[in-house]
Structure formats: C-alpha cells, structure tokens
Structure 1
Amino acid sequence: MGAKFAKGITAGALIGMAAGMMMVPSMDRQTKRKIRRANRVVKSYGGDMINSMRDMMMDK
C-alpha cells in the first residue's frame, strides 16, 4: 500500500462523513456528538497510518 492509497482512503472516509451529515441535517445532539467522535477517530487513524507509511518509506 502506498501513501497515495492511504491518503485516498482517509479522504474518502472524511468526504463520506461530510456527505452523510449534509443528508441528515435534522439530527439530534447525541447523533452529532457520535459523528464528531467518529470523525476524530478516523482523522487520528488516518494520520497514524500516513505517518507509519512515511516511516516505512524512509527506512527503505
């Protein structure tokens, strides 16, 4: 897996979350909170994955 692939997966997840939020504008507070938490997890995981990929590429 290359860095472009990891970036693409992360970008796709974030775009999907944003699209989902636009389709359901009348969410209650609890649902919005869950989405924000999931967004933070995805961003964190994506950043960690990109950093790991970068480290692997630099080691070679």
Structure 2
Amino acid sequence: MMKVFRGMVTGAIVGMAVTAMILPQLDKKTQRNLKRVSKRVLNMAEDACCMVTDYMS
C-alpha cells in the first residue's frame, strides 16, 4: 500500500513541477481554467483518500 501512496506523491510532485514551468507561458484565461480544474482535482483526491483510509480502518 505504501508503494501506491509513494507513486501518487511522486506523480503529484512531477505534475506540479511541469505546471510551474508551463503555466507562466499561457494566457490568463487558460491559467484561470487550470487553477480552477486543479482545485477540483485536489478536492476529488482528498475525498478519495479519505474514503480509502476510512475503508482501511
């Protein structure tokens, strides 16, 4: 189970690094859309994490 979390964290870090390099080159509308979508994805990931930890305990 620890390998799964390690993979998820690694993917999140790589995704944030790529976004940090690409985001300044995009226009304002695209930046707003990406930020809005990233907030949704983060909330969905938190919900999924909570469900998994509740299921495991």
Higher helix share: 2
Q: TM-score, normalization: structure 1? A: 0.67
Deviations for 1:28-47, whole angstroms, at most 9, x for unmatched residues? Answer: 11000011011101110110
Q: Residue 52 in 1 paired to residue 51 in 2?
A: yes
Aligned length: 57
Q: Tell me the C-alpha RMSD between the 2 structures.
A: 2.5
Deviation, structure 1 residue 55: 0.7
Q: Summarize the Cα distance change of 1:11–1:42 in structure 2 as closer, same or farther, 3 Å threshold.
A: farther
Higher relative contact order (CA 8 A, sep 6+): 1
Q: Which runs of 5+ in 1 are unaligned?
A: none
Counterpart code for 1:52: M
Q: TM-score, normalization: structure 2? A: 0.69
Q: Which of 43-52 and 11-20 deviates more?
A: 11-20
Q: Which runs of 5+ in 2 are unaligned?
A: none
Distance 2:38 2:31 in 1: 10
